[in-house]
Chain A
Amino acid sequence: MDLENTKAQMRKGILEYCILSILSKNSCYASDIIRELKEAKVIVVEGTLYPLLTRQKNAGLLSYRWEESQQGPPRKYYELTDDGRTFLTDLDSSWDELVDSVNLIRKK
């Protein structure tokens, strides 16, 4: 068993959940999301984020709008759709269940 690989698999599983959680607070542009994910140490290489954002957008969980920026070309701001909010509520409760289950096993 490769420890780094196992860790990477764990991170991968929660990355989509983290993205939705970040966007539930306010609409963000990709670099803001990256910053939060990096602070929380759930992302290693930035390239992982973009296909996930596009997939979530195609699945109707996210939408985006273009916003002018003073520093350069317009930026893409992502926000949760109503479907995305419902989806996130489901994920929240299943996350709590998961944490409870793991804790139960660890404390036995």
Chain B
Amino acid sequence: MKITVSINIGGYSFNIDEDAYAELKRYLKSLEIHFAEEESSSEILSDIEARMAELFRARLAGYKQVITMEDVTEIIAVMGNPEDFSDNEGPTRKEKFVTPGAHRMYRDPDRRIIGGVCAGMGAYWDMEPWVIRGIFIVMAMAGGLGIPVYLILYAVLPEARTTAQKIEMKGDPVNIHNIKESVKKEVETVRKKMNL
């Protein structure tokens, strides 16, 4: 027995197994990242979705009602992964995405207690956020310096919103592979939260 999710692709509604849904979501996200710099990227994505809907419908002939992991894997193979259609214009995608040595401090919204400053510093130096929080608390109690320093950092540091920024925060090179990994992690976290 499996839980199914109801989705809308290209104007059609489908029931899809939840593992297949996670994979499909990861795939569409990877396309979105691939075409992000393209003019009319949303148009390309909706054309691709329309085609995928057509392919899914062709597989649902007869008694079959639910899209499975197998369907998703096969349709991804038909459509191709972003690395299969790297285009002939400009630098290859891989070069475009790598910003060598990019390692910036951000506020980390995922692990924040107040504003994500300590969590962000923890991610930057690869330290446990509570160690940094401890230092701030001590600084705040002994002379009160901790609070203004925290407020200044809060104002100065940007929040890590995009996947690329979250990777930069930890200092890994930003490339399509890392983004994929981190999207995968995100999907899994959401799934766990939803208790699927």
Interface residues of A (CB under 8 A from B): 9, 12-13, 30-31, 34, 44-48, 50-51, 53-55, 58, 72-73, 75-76
Chain A minimum-CB-distance residue to B78: A46
Q: Is the CB of B11 within 8 A of A47?
A: no
Q: Is the CB of A44 within 8 A of B80?
A: yes
Q: Is the CB of B84 within 8 A of A72?
A: no
Dominant secondary structure of chain A at its interface with chain B: helix
Give A9 to B86 CA distance when docked, in angstroms. Answer: 11
Tell me the minimal C-beta distance from A65 to chain B in angstroms.
14
Q: Is the CB of A76 within 8 A of B80?
A: no
Residues of A close to B31: CB separation below 8 A: 47
Chain A minimum-CB-distance residue to B85: A48
18 residue pairs of the A-B complex, CB under 8 angstroms, read A12-B87, A13-B88, A44-B80, A45-B79, A45-B80, A46-B78, A46-B79, A47-B31, A50-B44, A50-B47, A51-B87, A54-B44, A55-B39, A58-B39, A72-B57, A73-B11, A75-B50, A76-B47
Residues of B close to A12: CB separation below 8 A: 87-88
Residues of A close to B77: CB separation below 8 A: 45
Residues of B close to A50: CB separation below 8 A: 44, 47-48, 51
Chain B minimum-CB-distance residue to A75: B50
Residues of A close to B78: CB separation below 8 A: 45-46
- Other A-B pairs, 10, CB within 8 Å; known A44-B84, A51-B38: A12-B87, A46-B51, A47-B31, A47-B48, A47-B80, A47-B84, A51-B35, A54-B38, A54-B43, A75-B50
Tell me the minimal C-beta distance from B82 to chain A in angstroms.
8
Tell me the minimal C-beta distance from B86 to chain A in angstroms.
9
Check if B186 is an interface residue, CB within 8 A of chain A: no
Residues of A close to B79: CB separation below 8 A: 45-47
- Interface mask (B49-64 → A, CB under 8 Å = 1, otherwise 0): 0110110010000000
Give A12 to B84 CA distance when docked, in angstroms. Answer: 11
